[in-house]
Chains A and B, each alone.
Chain A
Amino acid sequence: MKFLRDLLDKQKPLFHKGGKLENLFYLYEAGETFLFSPNHTNGIKGAQVKDAIDLKRMMITVVIAMIPCLLFGIYNTGHQHFLATGQTAGLWDDFGPKSLLGLQLVLPIVIVAYAAGGLVEAGFAVVRKHPINEGFLVTGMLIPLIVPATLPLWQVALGTIFAVIIAKEVFGGTGMNILNVAMTARAFLYFAYPAQISGDQVWTYLGDKAPVDGFSGATALAVAYNAGVDEQPVTQALAEHNSVLGDGLFSFYNMFMGWIPGSIGETSTLMALVGALILVATGVASWKIIVSGFAGAYLMGLVMNLFAVNEYMAMSPEYHWVVGGLAFGIVFMATDPVSAAQTETGKWIYGLLIGILTVIIRVTNPAYPEGIMLAVLFMNVFAPLIDYYVVKANKNRRLQRATV
């Protein structure tokens, strides 16, 4: 450690004012503070001791919470390929080859997302002279988890660059953004290149192998939506789906566990809940948003049941929790503290509305099978309005006290 410290200290003058590489100061600083917490001490007046937390530690906690989803996603990517091409049927057969294939597909996406976003981040840090934002640690991991494994790498790069610039840096960086950065990346790709991120051809990697006869690559959401159109009970449609590959592929249990096609990290409700557990136990994410998000989806599912005019609307509400990316979106996207509501009362309303909107978009909108992406972005925009009224209530209480 002494050696590293000496090395850093020796290079320091180069990057300080007047040094040859003074323009790259924030790059140096990012590296230095990554390796060593700075030796700054508290000021003359005010708090003389400080809490051990910092933003780096908070952000790395979120990254750790995503790891179960990532690992699961890697294996499931391989598993879905082996299943669709008829190579194995059992869940744990061919564990090695499945993991390896998953790694081959997912790892490049993760690397590209981090590299592309990291470059933009570093570029802005140098030009705008601000420290490199730790928020990118999280964004760079979130983006790979919400795209299909078959997405071309250049699209991963493009989506990430677009989101980091347009959703974050133009507003001034982490803490100033209005929209969730990762969701913006996905929305950009969704509307710019729909062929690679929607439909039923992209969710399962086939490679140069032919799928089993009768294989359909549709996601559970699409199956559920089509059941509504075809006047067939959703549970029946889900049960019969892809029966050539085996029974009960889209059973409630399987969908909860996540052994279904979809974006890399969002298929497993269980892993999202493990992540939620980490985030809530460490106090990093708001449990209020998570609870009210799930509650909102369930409630809206019930309301849909009441007014059901088709089979999708009649679907049992708990299915909304396990199909699509609702769980992942609520746990990791909705809870982003910067783009979410920032008042405690506001968080309840914000989460609830995300759940409600997701189900409305899913069930009533023919164009977008998944609702969580648009629901989160939509509520990101409305979060300041929710907060505005909560803050106004606080001001009114103060005002009323004065006039009584």
Chain B
Amino acid sequence: MSKTIKLKKGFDIKLAGKAEKQLGDFQRAQTFAIKPADFIGMQRPKVTVNEGDSVKAGTPILFDKAMDSVQFVSPVSGEIVEIKRGDKRKLLEIKILADEVVSYESFEKFTESSLKTIGKETAIAQLCKSGVWPQLIQRPFGIIANPQDSPKSIFISGFDTNPLAPDYAFALKGEEKYFKAGILVLQKLTSGKVHLGLELDAEIAPVFANVQGVQINKFSGPHPAGNVGIHIHHIDPINKGEIVWTISPFGVIQMGKLFLEGKYDASKVIAVTGSEAKKAVYAKTYLGACVDTLVKGNLKQDHIRVVSGNVLTGEKINTDGYLGYYANQITLLPEGDYYEFLGWMKPTSDKLSYHRALGLLSFLTPNKEYVLDTNVRGEERAFVQTGVFESVTPMDILPVYLLKAILAEDFDEMEELGIYEVVEEDLALCEFVDVSKHPVQEIIRKGIDLIQYS
């Protein structure tokens, strides 16, 4: 039974620097890195390679002692050049210098028809040892799924409403076969349904056309309508004790490639976006690529910030930093470390605001694309304004009460108010619109950690 959900709450952050639908001719990155910090919920990372070892794409380099069946593998073939550790020997990065031509570890190959007949155990074993497994994320908590669990359903969001997000129709072009095969594998992992959320009133991307074995649900409305957490809330909400898995379309395709081609293929098309990019286009690269080849020579000015991911949920990286494991885009923004004379009362039409308070004129030009920098635009204060978070959260959840319950470390209250249904990205807009400038996403993660580890 496919469902249609029309959402009204939310807000589209329209930014300048959307990627043109063409592949840029960037040089391939020299180095790649896997950062344990990208894997939320990883507790005791253990490196299984040494500096100087040579690896292939798909060679295990890391695992979590708390869940040792799941391997984390090298995205490319080459040599391990650095295992970077921080304070208290905390593992930060495993850096790989890539070969010119990528060679692959080989895994068992299947045909489309034989895929239908393989068992759940075979599928799980292959996913775990090949390094594709970490694409599966468990809700609640937004952590890497546990192979021993059986989720009540699996959700895929087929569109991204985040600011400057890549268009899947373009980025996943030509991967139709692998997406279909990936779905076949996913069906083995759950006793329930596999849900695919698509945008209402939009042309169906070729990659999602004629996909069998999924329930297609359609959503309309402003961001976060494309967030998988919003889809779950409206289609098959998570109650205490229940588990749902989510996976990105890229993850599904990686799964399909693993089973049809017998290799771990980490190549992906990402969007290079943001107002400071000279050429905002798509780029073909691999998971964990160094972004220097995408950034250098592609900047309008020097005082910028490189964000791995989008501006709502992304992470600041250096100009020679590495693409996040789950990131589908990089965003280049002007850095905002400047003072502004009477900035709090000056009328402004070139700064975006969800609000309409005195002098905030952006509501008059709803279609304008804004150049936003990284300035906080004010100071942190206690909660004062009410009703705003609710108006950008298309879920039956009271964000301010949930946040206050987390700050008070009130476990029962957190549970009752729906902590199991949210991860950072679902309330990221609250952080953007907040008058009092709270680190909403950080607080949410703190709450999830409290619930998860105690």
Q: Which residues of A does B touch, CB under 8 Å?
A: 1, 4-5, 33-58, 60-61, 64, 131, 133-135, 172-176, 281-284, 286, 337-338, 340, 342-344, 347, 391, 394-395, 397-399, 401-402
Complex: A284 Cα to B387 Cα, angstroms: 10
Q: Chain B contacts of A134 at CB under 8 A?
A: 381
B contact face: mostly helix, strand, loop, or mixed: loop
Q: Chain A contacts of B344 at CB under 8 A?
A: 33-34, 37, 54, 56-57, 60
Size of interface on B: residues with Cβ below 8 Å to A: 76
B398 touches A46 (CB 8 A): no
Tell which of B212-220, B221-229, B355-363 binds the partner: B355-363
Give the residue of B314, B358, B386 whose beta carbon is less than 8 angstroms from that of A48: B314
Q: Chain B contacts of A395 at CB under 8 A?
A: 416-417
Complex: A38 Cα to B348 Cα, angstroms: 17
B396 touches A52 (CB 8 A): no
The 30 listed contacts between A and B (C-beta, < 8 Å) are A34-B344, A40-B375, A41-B374, A43-B439, A45-B441, A46-B313, A46-B439, A47-B313, A49-B374, A51-B432, A51-B433, A51-B434, A53-B360, A54-B379, A55-B379, A55-B435, A55-B436, A56-B344, A57-B345, A57-B357, A57-B358, A64-B358, A174-B384, A282-B355, A282-B356, A337-B385, A342-B400, A343-B398, A397-B396, A398-B396
A38 touches B373 (CB 8 A): no
Q: How would residues 409 to 441 of chain B score, 1 for a CB under 8 Å from any chain A CB and 0 otherwise? A: 000000011100000100010011111110111
Q: Chain B contacts of A50 at CB under 8 A?
A: 375-378, 431-432, 434, 437
Q: With contacts A49-B432, A50-B431 known, what are 15 further pairs, Cβ within 8 A?
A: A5-B341, A37-B342, A39-B338, A39-B375, A40-B376, A41-B374, A42-B374, A43-B442, A50-B377, A53-B435, A55-B436, A174-B382, A175-B383, A284-B385, A398-B417
Q: Chain A contacts of B343 at CB under 8 A?
A: 36-37
- Does B307 make an interface contact (CB < 8 A)? yes
A contact face: mostly helix, strand, loop, or mixed: loop
- Does B331 make an interface contact (CB < 8 A)? yes
Q: Chain B contacts of A42 at CB under 8 A?
A: 336, 374-376
Q: Chain B contacts of A56 at CB under 8 A?
A: 344-345, 378
Taking A175-B436, A283-B357 as contacts, is the C-beta distance between A54 and B240 under 8 angstroms?
Answer: no
In the complex, the number of residue pairs spanning A and B with C-beta atoms less than 8 Å apart equals 220
Complex: A284 Cα to B388 Cα, angstroms: 10
Distance from B12 Cβ to chain A, minimum over Cβ atoms (Å)? 13
Complex: A63 Cα to B431 Cα, angstroms: 26
Complex: A220 Cα to B168 Cα, angstroms: 68
B431 touches A4 (CB 8 A): no
Q: How would residues 37 to 50 of chain B score, 1 for a CB under 8 Å from any chain A CB and 0 otherwise? A: 00000000000000
B357 touches A48 (CB 8 A): no
- Does B312 make an interface contact (CB < 8 A)? yes
Complex: A173 Cα to B381 Cα, angstroms: 10
A52 touches B351 (CB 8 A): yes
- Does B311 make an interface contact (CB < 8 A)? yes
Q: Which residues of B does A touch, CB under 8 Å?
A: 13, 15, 163, 237, 239-240, 305, 307, 311-316, 331, 333, 335-345, 348, 351-360, 362, 372-379, 381-387, 390, 396-398, 400-401, 416-418, 424, 428, 431-437, 439-442
Q: Chain A contacts of B336 at CB under 8 A?
A: 39, 41-42
B355 touches A283 (CB 8 A): yes
B374 touches A46 (CB 8 A): no
A44 touches B416 (CB 8 A): no
B331 touches A48 (CB 8 A): yes
Among residues of B, the one whose C-beta sits closest to the C-beta of A59 is B384
Q: Chain B contacts of A55 at CB under 8 A?
A: 378-379, 381, 384, 435-436
Taking A58-B385, A344-B390 as contacts, is the C-beta distance between A391 and B401 under 8 angstroms?
Answer: yes
Complex: A134 Cα to B340 Cα, angstroms: 18
Q: Chain B contacts of A41 at CB under 8 A?
A: 305, 335-337, 374-376
Q: Chain B contacts of A40 at CB under 8 A?
A: 337, 375-376, 379
B314 touches A175 (CB 8 A): no
B311 touches A45 (CB 8 A): no
Q: Chain A contacts of B390 at CB under 8 A?
A: 344
Taking A49-B373, A52-B362, A338-B384 as contacts, is the C-beta distance between A44 and B316 under 8 angstroms?
Answer: yes
Among residues of B, the one whose C-beta sits closest to the C-beta of A396 is B416
A394 touches B396 (CB 8 A): yes
Taking A49-B372, A52-B353, A342-B400 as contacts, is the C-beta distance between A175 and B358 under 8 angstroms?
Answer: no
B360 touches A49 (CB 8 A): no
Q: Chain B contacts of A61 at CB under 8 A?
A: 357-358
Distance from A230 Cβ to chain B, minimum over Cβ atoms (Å)? 45
Distance from B376 Cβ to chain A, minimum over Cβ atoms (Å)? 4
B353 touches A51 (CB 8 A): yes
Complex: A117 Cα to B97 Cα, angstroms: 64
Give the residue of B163, B384, B398, B424 whose beta carbon is less than 8 angstroms from that of A135: B384
B442 touches A46 (CB 8 A): yes
Q: Chain A contacts of B337 at CB under 8 A?
A: 39-41
Among residues of A, the one whose C-beta sits closest to the C-beta of B362 is A52
Q: Chain B contacts of A281 at CB under 8 A?
A: 356
Distance from A328 Cβ to chain B, minimum over Cβ atoms (Å)? 20
Distance from A154 Cβ to chain B, minimum over Cβ atoms (Å)? 31
Complex: A173 Cα to B380 Cα, angstroms: 14
Give the residue of B372, B416, B428 whose beta carbon is less than 8 angstroms from that of A46: B428
Among residues of A, the one whose C-beta sits closest to the C-beta of B358 is A61
A48 touches B316 (CB 8 A): yes
Distance from B411 Cβ to chain A, minimum over Cβ atoms (Å)? 14
Taking A5-B339, A54-B344 as contacts, is the C-beta distance between A342 and B386 under 8 angstroms?
Answer: yes
Q: Chain B contacts of A38 at CB under 8 A?
A: 339, 376, 378-379
Q: Chain B contacts of A391 at CB under 8 A?
A: 398, 401, 417
User: Which 5 pairs show the lowest CB-CB distances between chains A and B?
Assistant: A54-B378, A175-B382, A37-B343, A402-B239, A52-B351
Complex: A34 Cα to B343 Cα, angstroms: 9
Complex: A199 Cα to B313 Cα, angstroms: 60
Complex: A344 Cα to B372 Cα, angstroms: 31
Complex: A50 Cα to B163 Cα, angstroms: 13
Distance from A319 Cβ to chain B, minimum over Cβ atoms (Å)? 32
A49 touches B311 (CB 8 A): yes
Distance from A389 Cβ to chain B, minimum over Cβ atoms (Å)? 13
Taking A42-B374, A45-B441, A45-B442 as contacts, is the C-beta distance between A58 and B384 under 8 angstroms?
Answer: yes
Complex: A51 Cα to B353 Cα, angstroms: 5
Give the residue of B342, B381, B440, B441 whose beta carbon is less than 8 angstroms from that of A131: B381
A48 touches B341 (CB 8 A): no
Complex: A317 Cα to B314 Cα, angstroms: 56
Give the residue of A46, A284, A343 whose beta carbon is less than 8 angstroms from that of B431: A46
Taking A42-B374, A344-B387, A394-B417 as contacts, is the C-beta distance between A49 and B382 under 8 angstroms?
Answer: no
Q: Chain B contacts of A53 at CB under 8 A?
A: 353-355, 357, 360, 377-378, 433, 435
A175 touches B381 (CB 8 A): yes
Complex: A386 Cα to B356 Cα, angstroms: 28
Q: Chain B contacts of A394 at CB under 8 A?
A: 396-398, 417
Tell me which of B336, B433, B440 has the highest count of chain A C-beta atoms within 10 A of its own C-beta: B336
Complex: A156 Cα to B47 Cα, angstroms: 70
Q: Chain A contacts of B440 at CB under 8 A?
A: 46-47
Taking A49-B432, A51-B352, A51-B353 as contacts, is the C-beta distance between A60 and B341 under 8 angstroms?
Answer: no
Among residues of A, the one whose C-beta sits closest to the C-beta of B307 is A48
Q: Chain A contacts of B373 at CB under 8 A?
A: 49
Complex: A377 Cα to B390 Cα, angstroms: 26
Among residues of A, the one whose C-beta sits closest to the C-beta of B387 is A344
Q: Chain B contacts of A52 at CB under 8 A?
A: 348, 351-353, 355, 360, 362, 377
Distance from A181 Cβ to chain B, minimum over Cβ atoms (Å)? 13
Among residues of B, the one whose C-beta sits closest to the C-beta of A48 is B311
B432 touches A36 (CB 8 A): no
Complex: A33 Cα to B344 Cα, angstroms: 9
